Amino acid sequence: MAIDYDPFSKEVRNDPHPIYKRLRDEDPVHYMQKYDAWALSRFQDIWDASSHDDLMAAKGTTPAQLLTRDQAVTPMLNVLDPPVHTQLRSVIRKCFMPQHVRALEPVVRKLAGQLLDDVAGRDEFDAISDFSALLSVSVACLAIGLPVEDGPELTKLVQGFFHHDPDSGGVTEKGLASLNELVSYCEDKVKAHRKAPTDSPEALSRLASFDLDGQRFSDADAASHVVMLVIGGSETFPKVFASCMRRLWEYPDQRAALAKDPSGATDAFNEVLRYDMPTQFLGRTVKRDIEIQGKTLKAGQPVIFLYSSANRDEREFDNPDTFDIARCAPRFLSFGAGHHACLGTHVARMEGKVCLEAILERYPEYEVDLNNSTRFRTEFVQGFSSLPIRVG
């Protein structure tokens, strides 16, 4: 039977991995007639395509931009192509390099301790709303240069943006309204910074002062880039951390080993990223006709990279459906690859290490209340929106 892959179908949104395996085995370069678009499912194909000069980001990267076209393409780093992308990224990436991240780590460790102090004495707390979401948005604010006290409101807007229709799985009016509100907030911060500029190393300062060939970003364009950093810095980490809590609970021997020797925390975090990547895919548009695996992708057609499928590709990983915190895979696609590899890789790994160490030091035998958890199951995102943890 021919494969009919549609990322918005209920079957795929409920559990995409069975059809991902069929795609990898039977049709790794799959044509989606409904969208006149292609889906790549194998690791090496996606790895190579991520740096392909004949694939462009300028027409969007998300399903709402490439497939349903519900979301307009606004100036953001992730929809720029070289050489502009290269120039801007080189300026922003300095804010996320290891030296800057190392300076943040003591602050993040203190914040993690304070958040756990806040729930001390409780028998149960939520791994996301009481801990990881609060931590990640605070870290994002510190790295970007936004007021940390605005974190709760930013979390609300980011979560609103990811509100999807339960029937179609598509983005809703509420989601687009939350995005517009987030854009307005960031534009206000850009304007305020330009009225009273500082020489801080944070991303907001660099974006507000960046010029390309003598042309400075408009307030709106600079704000769009800040929006991307807010969403990227605060939205994904809580889902990954919740999956860390879930998988370590399901594999108590691995949890006990990590609690005894927390030096493996980064490796454990990386394995969860591979095994349970929340973002199912991002995409590009074909600039000139290209051939992949004997299929011709025509100019103007979107092509999506099924990262979550690639991270379970038997051609790249031994026993990919086995969760193993000692795996130490030399490469995976949870941070993307090529020109648009994630800027926040070092920050995310530091957050993961700090949070795992903090939780396991205090609660090495926590329990997960999986029956009362809630999940995102959309074409774009898989993962927990709430995960109660019992510690009493």
Tokens of 208: 């507000």
β strands within 278-325, DSSP E: 281-286, 290-292, 295-297, 302-306
162-183 CB burial, b ≥16 within 10 A, e <16 = bbbeeeebbbbeebbebbeebb
The more confident residue out of 227 and 364 is 364
DSSP state of 341: -
Per-position DSSP letters for 16-34, written without gaps between them: -HHHHHHHHHH-SEEEEGG
Q: Confidence class of residue 63 from pLDDT cuts 50, 70 and 90?
A: very high
Q: Which residues contact 173 (CB under 8 A, 6 or more apart)?
A: none
Rg (CA), the chain: 21
Q: What is the DSSP string of 248-282?
A: HHH-HHHHHHHHH-GGGHHHHHHHHHHHT-SB-EE
Global pTM reads: 0.90
> Mean pLDDT over residues 325-343, rounded?
93
Tell me the pLDDT tens digit for each residue of 95-140.
788 888 898 999 999 999 999 999 998 999 999 999 999 999 999 8
- Measuring CA to CA, which residue among 88, 82, 26, 19 is closest to residue 284? 82
Helix (H) or strand (E) holding 182: helix 173-195
Q: How far is it, in rounded angstroms, from Cα 280 to Cα 309? A: 8
Task: Give the distance, in angstroms, between the CA of residue 308 and the centroid of all CA atoms in the same chain.
Answer: 12
Neighbouring residues of 117: CB distance < 8 A, sequence distance ≥ 6 = none
Helices vs strands, H then E, count in the chain: 16, 14
Q: Would you say residue 214 has pLDDT above 80?
A: no
* CB burial of residue 244 (10 Å; 0-12, 13-18, 19+): buried
Domain coordinates in residue numbering, the chain: 10-390
Tell me the residue length of the chain: 392
In whole angstroms, give the CA distance from residue 150 to residue 12: 36
Residue 364 has pLDDT above 90, yes or no: yes
Task: Work out the percent of the chain whose per-residue pLDDT is above 90.
Answer: 64
Fold (topology level) of 10-390: Cytochrome p450 (1.10.630)
Q: Dihedral of CA 56/74/70/181: which sign?
A: positive
Candidate from 216-220, 282-286, 348-352 with smallest mean pLDDT: 216-220
Q: pLDDT at position 165, please?
A: 60
The first and second tokens of residue 290, run together, are 């290209």
163: pLDDT strictly greater than 90:
no
C-alpha to C-alpha distance for 119 and 105, rounded to whole angstroms: 22
For residues 157 and 185, what is the distance between their CA atoms, to the nearest angstrom?
A: 10
Helix, strand, coil tally for the chain in percent (to 5):
55, 15, 35
With CA atoms as reference, report the closest residue to 278 among 125, 100, 136, 110.
136
User: 63's torsion region: left (phi>0), alpha (psi -120 to 50) or beta?
Assistant: alpha
Sign of CA dihedral 292, 296, 302, 306: negative
* β-sheet bridge partners, residue 13: none
127-137 pLDDT, tens per residue? 999 999 999 99
Residue 296 CB: number of other CB atoms within 10 A?
12
The better pLDDT of the pair 54, 229 is held by: 54
Q: What is residue 80's predicted lDDT score, i.e. its pLDDT?
A: 84
Mean of per-residue pLDDT scores for the chain: 91
In this model, does residue 166 exceed pLDDT 70?
no
